[in-house]
C-alpha cells in the first residue's frame, strides 16, 4: 500500500527531468490560513518523497503580492476600502509594524513554516516584475495577443474585445490594477485606459503592471521549470485556470504544463474559510495547540480532494487521540483492527513526520492533561505525578521519577502542557473548565451525599488505588446507599469545585492532593 504522496512522487520520477521543481503560491490578501496554504504543505511533502527516491527536487513558494485587493480582510477597518483594486504590494501595513500590507500578513506565515521545517525558496511576484523576470514573457504575450484571445474566448460566454491585451498596467492616476484595460502597445510601451477616467501609457520595464492571471501562471511555469504544482479546486474546474493556462503554456510559451495536484477547500466548523469575514485558522494558530506533525497528519490522512472540516473545539481532542493512536500503531505499541488499517496508518504517520524517531516518543494523553493542567498548572513534575497516579504512563516509565526522565521526554511533556494550556484558554467550552477551590465552597448537599463522601474518604485513607479500582469502590458505595451515579458524582464536584459537573470522577479525585480530598470529603475546611 502506497500513500498518495508516494504515488505522485513515483509518477514524477518516471519523467525525464533533471530537477523537479514543485511550485506553490499564495495570494497575500490577508491572513494565510490552513486552507489556502495546503499547496505549500503538499508541495513540500512531494519534494521530500522525490528526494527519498533519489531524485533532485526543490520546492518554491511564490507570494502573489502584486494582485489587486478585492475585499478588505478581517480585522482591518472599513477605511481600507480605499485600497480596493490596488496591488497588495502598494498598500500600507495596517498596524505600522511592517514595511507594508504584504509583510504584515506574510511574516507570521513564514515564521510558522520554520516550525514545520519546510525548506522552500521564497519568491515575490512584485519583485519578479520589478527585476524584469517577466519582461520577455510580457513581450511574447503582447505579440501573440490574438492567439491568447482566441484561447480565452473558447472558454468565455462573452468574447474579449479585438483590442484586448493580456496585461494590466497599474493606473498612474488611481493606483489600481484591476480597473485598467490595455488596448495597444509600441515596443515596451503599453497604452491603457482606466475606469477612473485616466488614459495613459506605461513602460513594462518599470514593473508597474502584471500579466493577466492565467497567462502569468503559464509564464511562471516556464520561468521556474515547474514540474508539479498543487492548487485549490477552483483552478481545477473544467475550463478553469489550469485548463486555460495549460493551453497557453504549451501553445504560447512552448512548455508542458506541470503535474497537477488539486485539493479541496478546508471548512472551519462547517463554514467556508474567508479572510474578509474573519473565518479562518492559520498554521500559527495550529502550532499554539498542537505539534506541527499533527497538522501534517490532518492534511495527509485523506486524499487531497476529500472534503475536510476542522473544528478546534471539542472535536480537536478526538483528533489528537486519533493521531496518538496512529503513532502507537506505527511503533508497534497498539494493534490495528486489520492489516489494511495498520499499513495505511503507518504510511500516513510516516508522511506526517518532520523527522522520524527511532523509538516511540513520550505520549501523555492530551485529553487527560486538560484535567491535569487545571489541577497542577504549568508544573511538569506535578503533572507527571498525576499521570503516574492515574496509570497514564507507558509501562517502562511507571517506576520512574520525574528526575529520571530524559531530556526528550521532558521536552515532549512541556510542549504538550503548553498546547493544552492554549487550547483550554482559547477553544475549550465552559463545561470542560474547572478550578479546585482552595476552601470548601458553600454548597448544598443532601444527607445521603454527605454519607457517600464520608465513606469515600475512609476508602481513600486506607489504600492507594488506580483510577479503575477507585471507580469500582465508588460504585460499591453508591449501590450500597442506593444512590444514582449522577447525584454521587455531583457531590464530589460540588465540594471540590463548587460546580455540579466536571471531568471523569475517579481520575479527577486521584489527581488532586489526597490529604486535601479526604478533608474536603469529610466537609472539613
How does 135-165 read in b/e, with b if 16+ C-beta sit within 10 Å? eebbebbbebbeebbebbeeeeeeeeeeebb
Spatial contact of 281 and 312, defined as CB atoms under 8 Å apart = yes
Angle at CA of residue 380, ends 379 and 382, nearest 5°: 70
* CA-based R_g, the chain, Å: 30
Q: In which order are the strands placed within the sheet that holds 20-27?
A: 121-124, 57-64, 20-27, 228-232, 259-263
Q: Beta-carbon neighbour count of residue 17 at 10 Å?
A: 16
Strands 271-272 and 266-268: antiparallel
Is 275 annotated to bind a ligand? Reply is: yes
* First and final C-alpha spacing in the chain: 62
List Cα–Cα distances, 55 to 17, 178, 439, in angstroms.
9, 41, 66
Contacts 24+ apart (CB under 8 A), 10-14: 10/53, 11/259, 12/46, 12/50, 12/55, 12/227, 12/228, 12/259, 13/50, 13/53, 13/55
Spatial contact of 347 and 2, defined as CB atoms under 8 Å apart = yes
Q: How far is CA 289 from the centre of its chain?
A: 11
Assigned C-alpha cell, 320: 489528537
Instruction: Write out 285-310 in H/E/C secondary structure.
Output: HHHHHCCHHHHHHHHHCCCCCCCEEE
Spatial contact of 465 and 510, defined as CB atoms under 8 Å apart = yes
Spatial contact of 24 and 43, defined as CB atoms under 8 Å apart = yes
Q: How many whole angstroms separate alpha carbon 115 and alpha carbon 443?
A: 47
Q: Choose among 60, 217, 66: nearest CA to 123.
A: 60
H helices present in 331-466, as ranges: 339-352, 366-376, 380-389, 407-426, 447-462
How does 489-525 read in b/e, with b if 16+ C-beta sit within 10 Å? bbbbbbbbbbbeebbebbbbbbbbeeeebbebbbeee
Assigned C-alpha cell, 302: 485523506
The residues, any chain, with a CB within 8 Å of residue 54's CB and separated by 6 or more, are: none
Spatial contact of 270 and 309, defined as CB atoms under 8 Å apart = yes
Output the known binding site: 275
Output the known binding site for ATP: 275
Amino acid at each position: 500500500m502506497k500513500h498518495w504522496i508516494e504515488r505522485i512522487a513515483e509518477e514524477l520520477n518516471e519523467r525525464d527531468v533533471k530537477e523537479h521543481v514543485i511550485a506553490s503560491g499564495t495570494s497575500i490578501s490577508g491572513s494565510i490560513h490552513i486552507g489556502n496554504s495546503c499547496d505549500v504543505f503538499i508541495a513540500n511533502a512531494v519534494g521530500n518523497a522525490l528526494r527519498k527516491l533519489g531524485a533532485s527536487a526543490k520546492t518554491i513558494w511564490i507570494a502573489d503580492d502584486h494582485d489587486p485587493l478585492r475585499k478588505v480582510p478581517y480585522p482591518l477597518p472599513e477605511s481600507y476600502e480605499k485600497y480596493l483594486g490596488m496591488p497588495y504590494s502598494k498598500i500600507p501595513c495596517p498596524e505600522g509594524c511592517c514595511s507594508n500590507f504584504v509583510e504584515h500578513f506574510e511574516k507570521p506565515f513564514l515564521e510558522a513554516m520554520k516550525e514545520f521545517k519546510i525548506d522552500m525558496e521564497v519568491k515575490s511576484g512584485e519583485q519578479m516584475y520589478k527585476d524584469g523576470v517577466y519582461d520577455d514573457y510580457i513581450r511574447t504575450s503582447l505579440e501573440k495577443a490574438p492567439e491568447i484571445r482566441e484561447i480565452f474566448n473558447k472558454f468565455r460566454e462573452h468574447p474579449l474585445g479585438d483590442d484586448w491585451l493580456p496585461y494590466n498596467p497599474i493606473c498612474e492616476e488611481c493606483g489600481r490594477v484591476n480597473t485598467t484595460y490595455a488596448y495597444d502597445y509600441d515596443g515596451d510601451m503599453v497604452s491603457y485606459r482606466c475606469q477612473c477616467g485616466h488614459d495613459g501609457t506605461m513602460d513594462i520595464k518599470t514593473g508597474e503592471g502584471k500579466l493577466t492571471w492565467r497567462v502569468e501562471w503559464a509564464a511562471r511555469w516556464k520561468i521556474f521549470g515547474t514540474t508539479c504544482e498543487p492548487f485549490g479546486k477552483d483552478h481545477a474546474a473544467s475550463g478553469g485556470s489550469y485548463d486555460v493556462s495549460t493551453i497557453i503554456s504549451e501553445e504560447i510559451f512552448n512548455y508542458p504544463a506541470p503535474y497537477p495536484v488539486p485539493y479541496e477547500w478546508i471548512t472551519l466548523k462547517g463554514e467556508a474559510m474567508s479572510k474578509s469575514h474573519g473565518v479562518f485558522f492559520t498554521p500559527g494558530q495550529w502550532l499554539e495547540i498542537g505539534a506541527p506533525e499533527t497538522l501534517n497528519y490532518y492534511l495527509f490522512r485523506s486524499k487531497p480532494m476529500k472534503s475536510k472540516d476542522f473544528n478546534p473545539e471539542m472535536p480537536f481532542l478526538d483528533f489528537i487521540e486519533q493521531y496518538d493512536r496512529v503513532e502507537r500503531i506505527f511503533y508497534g505499541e497498539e494493534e490495528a483492527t486489520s492489516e489494511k488499517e495498520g499499513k495505511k496508518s503507518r504510511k500516513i504517520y510516516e508522511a506526517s513526520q518532520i523527522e522520524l524517531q527511532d523509538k516511540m516518543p513520550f505520549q501523555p494523553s492530551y485529553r487527560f492533561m486538560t484535567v491535569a493542567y487545571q489541577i497542577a498548572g504549568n508544573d511538569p513534575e506535578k503533572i507527571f505525578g498525576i499521570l503516574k497516579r492515574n496509570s497514564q504512563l507507558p509501562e517502562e516509565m511507571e517506576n520512574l521519577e520525574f528526575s529520571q526522565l530524559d531530556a526528550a521526554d521532558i521536552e515532549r511533556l512541556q510542549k504538550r502542557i503548553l498546547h493544552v494550556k492554549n487550547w483550554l484558554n482559547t477553544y475549550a467550552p465552559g463545561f470542560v473548565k474547572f478550578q479546585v477551590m482552595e476552601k470548601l465552597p458553600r454548597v448544598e448537599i443532601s444527607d445521603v451525599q454527605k454519607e457517600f463522601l464520608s465513606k469515600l474518604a475512609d476508602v481513600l485513607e486506607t489504600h492507594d488505588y488506580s483510577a479503575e479500582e477507585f471507580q469500582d469502590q465508588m460504585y460499591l458505595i453508591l449501590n450500597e446507599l442506593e444512590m444514582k451515579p449522577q447525584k454521587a458524582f455531583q457531590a464530589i464536584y460540588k465540594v471540590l469545585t463548587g460546580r455540579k459537573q466536571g471531568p471523569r470522577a475517579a481520575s479527577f479525585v486521584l489527581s488532586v492532593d489526597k490529604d486535601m480530598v479526604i478533608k474536603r470529603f469529610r466537609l472539613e475546611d
